Structure 1
Amino acid sequence: MIEPPKDLAEATRLLERIARLDARIVARHGVRVAKIAQINASADRLLVPALAQRERLVERLKPWWNSDEAKAARKTAKSIVLGGCKIGTRESAASLTYEGAAEDFGLAQLQAEKWAKPLITVSYSVDKTKTREALSSKRGDALKAMGFGERQATVFFVSSVKLPTLGR
């Protein structure tokens, strides 16, 4: 079992130790962030030009893929292995399109048809922010009778003062 401090002086000493540890943690975290930034910058200096060059080469190959020579090489296949690479085309995932001018993606048209009901979804959810606000309004008693309320926990914390945070 962890023994709590016996008095204010002992609690103060423990908190001073925590403050020193937090300072060390923040400093080490800063070093880590700086080193990661250096590594990323170094990797970017190597990767960015190679990625750009690769993209340019792919762009050069796109028109060739539709040439008679490429069509003869692949016959009916959608892709082939050539020069250590697989080259070809593939279908993206299908997505629904709507060519009408309606901003609601045709919802009004579907709602007008009885047979289209299974094609429409309706979603409802409780607006928690507005419901919390309404708890202190004239409808508060009715909401409380329905079982709504607010809970706010008291959370113990220890944090050093005048130190940058680590995103905690």
Structure 2
Amino acid sequence: MAERPFRILGVQQVAIGASDRTRLHDLWVGLLGAQPKGTFRSEKENVDEEITTFGRGLGEIEFDLMAPVDPEGSPRVHQPALNHIGLWVDDLEAAFSWLGERGVRFTPGGIRKGAAGHSVCFIHPKGGGETPLGGEGVLIELVQAPAAIVRAYDAHAE
């Protein structure tokens, strides 16, 4: 297999969905200590989310607490409860192109700005047709890592 033109640097986020975001907040913020950072709402993406974090600095991991704007609408951000994982990528455009050439199915929309302001794209949970490779039931968000994350990763290379 050809050498990948990008690297996965680590976990950027975990997105958890439920029909009631208040209950998620009570558990993750109230009991487990996640730090609230902001909110994001999109009718188009059918999501009302609270962005929270654990950790500090370059070790900070985002936990998105998601509920649907319309419980009957699509996408169904609360089903499954583990909505998606986000991975830091050092070269998102190279990853998108290289993976696409190898049959990975992406969700519609290509590379775009995500809720936290980073460039993102999503590997579809299911492959199909000309793009047979998907996340095997898991939505995977690829997130362009800021330069500081890339430098920190490189500084710890063996």
Higher helix share: 1
- TM bucket normalised to smaller: under 0.3
Higher strand share: 2
State the TM-score, normalizing by the size of structure 2. Answer: 0.15
